[in-house]
Each structure stands twice: as structure tokens, then as C-alpha cells.
Amino acid sequence: MCIYVYLLFSFIYLKLIFVFVLKYKMSCSGEIYSHDYSDENLIQITPSIKQKLNKAKYGVSNHSAVELCHWTKKSFSDEATCYKHKFYGISTHRCMEMTPCAMNCENRCVYCWRPTEFYDTLEMPSHLVEGPETIIHNLLEERRKLVVGFYGKKDVNTTKLDESLFPEHYAISLSGEPTMYPKLPELVQYIKTLKATKSIFLVTNGQEPDMLYKLQEENALPTQIYLSTNASNKNMFYKVNGPRHKDAWERWLKSLDFISNAKTRTVLRMTLIRNFNDDEKYYQEFANLIEKGSPHFIELKSYMHIGMSINRLEESNMLKMEEVRNFSEGIKKHLSGYSTMDESIISRIVVLQNTNRYISRWVENYSM
């Protein structure tokens, strides 16, 4: 009799767990599912996650998203421009920050202000993703809805608002990892065909090196590629980036090799986090990686205590501007052929420029 009672309660227990998983869409790892999958339908961000993103002023289309960043909003009122304008000449009010993979990423970076807790998959089958033209058209419409809301505000530059409806610059970086999108070459190529387009920046964590090579092979390189460079060694890489791939460090090194010979503008972006990667004992290790990648530019920036990262780090993990300057000077002592190009105090960034592999800081097509 006891064995039957045990089996009955075990069955009820397992059924309750199954119902809980279905209701709350929890993965075996404890992360929350952010996508719905079907053989007949495209990958879509789940309604509950989409609602959260919409509340945070994201425009969403299936697995893609767009947002008006803080600096774009500031530029509408002629209050300020972002560091991409200061460093490279990009038009802030005509920048479209977007991603084809809003909830897909191979890493769970400790410093990321995005909702990495909602990232749930390492797969984006090509037959289940939206096409490039559809993504851009839908996101342009979502962005238009966000822009229109500013027309009724005081002290807004309506000329800039009108111009912003036709983006000149596309920043493929907003959330998730864009190189996971299997049709990225076609996406970049399509953006280039749009009449207003002047530049495209792509930010990658380096976990899909084959996609980077594919971009080059298919003549689909963006104007500038950023490789996130937040660790000087393998142990630090796993601590800071929380990668899901077992060979994540090797993948990143392959991407660094790509950067060294990429036929486009390249940047290593270093996010400095106190007590993680900011010690002077790492100068030489970082310098070795930089020499190997030979990027045109290096952006050294402090971690910023914003967004979802506040649940993982403390405000004290941010570096002061002077500390960022000191770190950049320390790195330079171990490098040959790099000079300080510029800095942004409000964003706590210092930019170094490669004088051996020199290229003008200013992106073509923008009048400075």
C-alpha cells in the first residue's frame, strides 16, 4: 500500500513541476524563457518579456528590437551628443540603435546593463528567423513611434526629429549578440542600400568568429567593428563574461585574429570593473592581446552602474575618470605605436589610436 501512495504523490509532484515550468517558462538552468518556438512560426520574444521591454521603451518585432538611447533623446533638444559623435563624427540624432537578437546571447556578462537573465538560447535556426528587410522595416516603424512622442515636448528641435526618421547611422548592438543572427551579412548589405545610410557599427562579444569571417567573405563588413575585450586571460574571461560555450576563450581569440586583418575599421572596447580587471598587474597581459589584434582604436571605459547590472555589481565597482586615464597610460607604457586620441569625461572613456595602423578617426560621409 505504501508503495502505491509513494508513486501517487511522486506523480502529482512531477505534474506540478511540469505545470510550473509551462506556466512560468523556466529553463533547466533556472533562467526565464524569453522565446516561443514553433516549426511553423518565427522565433518570437514571449508576450511577458515583450511587455517588459515595451515598458522600458524598446520597440520589438519578433526577435528584434530598437531603442532611442539617452544621448539620442538629449540631441533632440540640442542638449548633448554621444561620444560616437565626439570620437568619430557620427550624427547622434540620426543614430538607430537596434539588434536582430534582442534576447539571444552566448554570455552572461556581469557588467551588462541588459536583461541577461532573460537570455535563454544559443540557437537561431535560419528558417525560424525574420528576414533582413522585414526586420529593418518593422524596426524603423517601431522607432518612428518612439520619435513621434517627442514632437509635443517643449524645447525640442523639430528639424532634428524630422531628420531622425531617416537614420544615417545604424548601431547593431542594443541587446543580445548580433552575430548569432544567421542572416547578418544580408542585414548589413540591405542597410547599405538605404538612401540615408552613411555608417554601420557592429559590436560583438567575439563568440561567433565564423560569422565575422563570413561578413568579410560576402563583402558585408560594417563601417566599424567593436570587439568586447574585458579580460586579459582565460580565468578572468570566464569570471567577467560568464560564457555558455566551453571553448569561449578560444572563440574570442579567433575573433581577435580576425580583427588583426579585418578590411574595415576596428575597435577593442575594454570595460574596466573595479576588483575584476583594473589592477595594474594586468597591463602586460592586456597589451599582449592588443598587439595581437592591432586594432585601429582602443576604447577604455569604466563600468557604469545602470540597468540590470545593479543586481550583480555595486556602484563602487565603477572607476573614476582619473582612474580610467591612469589605466590607459599604464597600458600605453607596454604598447608601441598607440597615442591618446580623445576622451569623454561624462561617459568615462579614453580612446587610444593606433599610429602604426593609422586610419582617420572621422568616418567618411560625415562633414566635420
Asked if 6 and 98 sit in the same domain, the reply is no
CATH label of the domain that carries residue 288: 3.20.20.70
pLDDT the model gives residue 43: 84
| Residue 363 counted as domain residue | no
Please tell me which residue, 114 or 128, carries the higher pLDDT value.
128
Dihedral of alpha carbons 113, 115, 117, 120, sign: negative
pLDDT the model gives residue 120: 64
pLDDT band of residue 66 (cuts 50, 70, 90) is: very high
Asked if 202 and 347 sit in the same domain, the reply is yes
Query: Which pLDDT tens digit goes with each residue over 228-283?
Result: 999 999 999 999 999 999 999 999 999 999 999 999 999 999 999 999 999 999 99
Query: Which pLDDT tens digit goes with each residue over 150-193?
Result: 998 989 999 999 999 999 999 999 888 999 999 999 999 999 99
Q: Quick one: average pLDDT of 5-28?
A: 38
Nearest to 114 by CA among 178, 170, 206: 178
Q: Which domain holds residue 112?
A: 31-354
pTM value? 0.87
| Residue 366 counted as domain residue | no
pLDDT the model gives residue 119: 67
Residue 66, classed as helix, strand or coil, is strand
**C-beta of residue 290 within 8 angstroms of C-beta of residue 268:** yes
DSSP state of 267: E
**C-beta of residue 171 within 8 angstroms of C-beta of residue 96:** yes
DSSP state of 32: B
Half-sphere exposure of 156 (CA within 13 A, CB side): 19
